[in-house]
Amino acid sequence: MSTNPPDFPVLNLGPRTGPDGRRIRYGGCICGAVRFEVRGSPIVVGICHCLECRKATGADAMPYADWHAKNFSVTGLIRTFVGRSFCPECGTRLFNLNRDRVSVMLGSLDDAPGDLHPVREGWILRREPWRVPVRGALQFERDVQ
Ligand SMILES: [Zn+2]
Ligand SMILES: [Zn+2]
């Protein structure tokens, strides 16, 4: 939509696997003030079409992947609105973090395209008619069960 800002952060700075052999994924906001990483495989990958996810992202749906909170770390100042965290500097939406789980918005990860494939879709009642269901993903009219 526009060119990258001149100080756009360098992506994928760290090693792709940790000392324990687990995959490390990096992410962050567009201004680079917030950086995070997740280690190992996600618990689940999905897409939510609910009204709140639409509003919070400004997009038609929110693709996400969840990890145990212990496999997540973040640097930089964040702000949080009803569980949804973002960079107060540039406004990039990042993740929902609670006590034992983090739900990372896929677009905030550095790798694109990535290897995370949604296995479920929630609130398909609100899915735009031009967006096709993800092949093989469980479909839920409202909240995922
Ligand atoms: Zn930022
Ligand atoms: Zn949602």
pLDDT tens digit sequence for 30-66? 999 999 999 999 999 999 999 999 999 999 999 999 9
pLDDT 10s digits, 121-137: 999 999 999 999 999 99
In a domain, 3, yes or no: no
Write the DSSP string, 85-110: EE-TTT--EEEEE-SSEEEEEGGGBS
Split at pLDDT 50, 70, 90, the class of 112 is confident
* SS3 (DSSP) at 23: strand
In a domain, 18, yes or no: no
Ligand located closest to 91 CA: 1
pLDDT top residue among 5 and 125: 125
Ligand located closest to 86 CA: 1
CATH code for position 114: 3.90.1590.10
**Quick one: average pLDDT of 11-24?**
86
- Cα 16 to middle of ligand 1, angstroms: 23
Q: Check if the beta carbon of residue 44 is closer than 8 Å to that of residue 31.
A: no
Q: Name the residue range of residue 61's domain.
A: 24-139
Q: Would the pLDDT of 1 be above 70?
A: no
Mean pLDDT of the chain: 92
- Cα 61 to middle of ligand 2, angstroms: 8
Number of domains in the chain: 1
